[in-house]
Structure 1
């Protein structure tokens, strides 16, 4: 395995772990912390805890649907040409 692949894997792993830790703390632990505590300054309002993952899921499913549709159209054109 090349060094570049390992570096990209490490960056992706650290990014995923950071996002998971932030989201877990935000959704599970933060509601039990007093509202006037300074840690609330580092997090978005709780409404975004649902909105952001739903929006990300819709965008992901949209791109996947467009990709599958384009692949199906291209394969149909290749079958007609052959």
Structure 2
């Protein structure tokens, strides 16, 4: 069985690797010659903007959904709405 600390460490390493790759892709590759072989390791930079904006939008939407569900369950809005409807 995996412990929480092990899972957290694996996730931390994965996020760190993704962050380093993204920084290399968006910040360093514009200064490298376009014909250099390392440019083949990275997709076009326009995708980086789209991917980052999608991840931020999806994360914000997920956080708002989780917070709304938590609020609804905690305050019991459904129970009050059912009582008023009857």
Q: Scaled by the length of structure 2, what TM-score is found?
A: 0.76
Structure 1 unaligned spans of 5+: none
Structural mapping, 1:40-51, within 5 Å? 40-51=39-50
Q: Given the superposition, is the C-alpha separation of residues 46 and 66 from structure 1 closer, same or farther in structure 2, using an over 3 Å criterion?
A: same
Q: Shift of the alpha carbon at 1:59?
A: 1.1
Q: Scaled by the length of structure 1, what TM-score is found?
A: 0.79
Deviations 1:41-68 (A, max 9, x none): 1111010121111011111122223333
The answer for the alignment partner of 1:37 in structure 2 is 36
Q: Is 1:77 equivalent to 2:46 in the alignment?
A: no
Q: Shift of the alpha carbon at 1:9?
A: 1.7
CA distance in 2, matches of 1:52, 1:30: 17
SS in 1 for 2:3: helix
The number of equivalent residue pairs is: 79
Deviates more, 1:27-36 or 1:55-64: 55-64
